[in-house]
Amino acid sequence: MKTRLIGIVKSAKATKTLRVEVETKVRHPLYGKFVRHRTVCYAHDEDSQAKEDDRVEIIESRPHSKLKRWELVRILPRH
C-alpha cells in the first residue's frame, strides 16, 4: 500500500512540480515534550492546479526526477 501524506504547498513555481512541507509531531523520548518535525516532499502536479499555501494530499509514486517521488492526489478544502 502506498503512503499518503497531507501537507502544505510552499512553492509551486516550477512547471508541474510542487514543494510540499509535511509537519509531524513526535514525542521526545526523554522529556516527553512534543516536538514538530518537517519533511519536504517534491510532488508531481500534471495540470499545475495547486497554488502556494494550499493543503494537499500526496501519494508515493515512481521516481519522476532526481527528487520527485510523490504525486498530487487532491487539493483539500481550507478550514
Which pLDDT belongs to residue 78?
78
Which pLDDT belongs to residue 60?
97
| % of the chain residues with pLDDT over 70 | 99
How far is residue 19's CA from residue 37's CA, in Å, rounded to a whole number?
16
User: Over the stretch 44-65, which tens digit does the pLDDT of each residue have?
Assistant: 999 999 999 999 999 999 999 9
The CATH number given to 4-76 is 2.40.50.140
Polymer length of the chain? 79
Which pLDDT belongs to residue 11?
97
How far is residue 79's CA from residue 75's CA, in Å, rounded to a whole number?
12
Please list the residues that pair with 40 across neighbouring strands: 21
Domain ranges of the chain: 4-76
With cut-offs at 50, 70 and 90, classify the pLDDT of residue 38: very high
Which pLDDT belongs to residue 4?
97
C-alpha cell at 72: 498530487
CA distances from 60 to 20, 25, 33, 57, 79 (A): 13, 21, 30, 10, 25
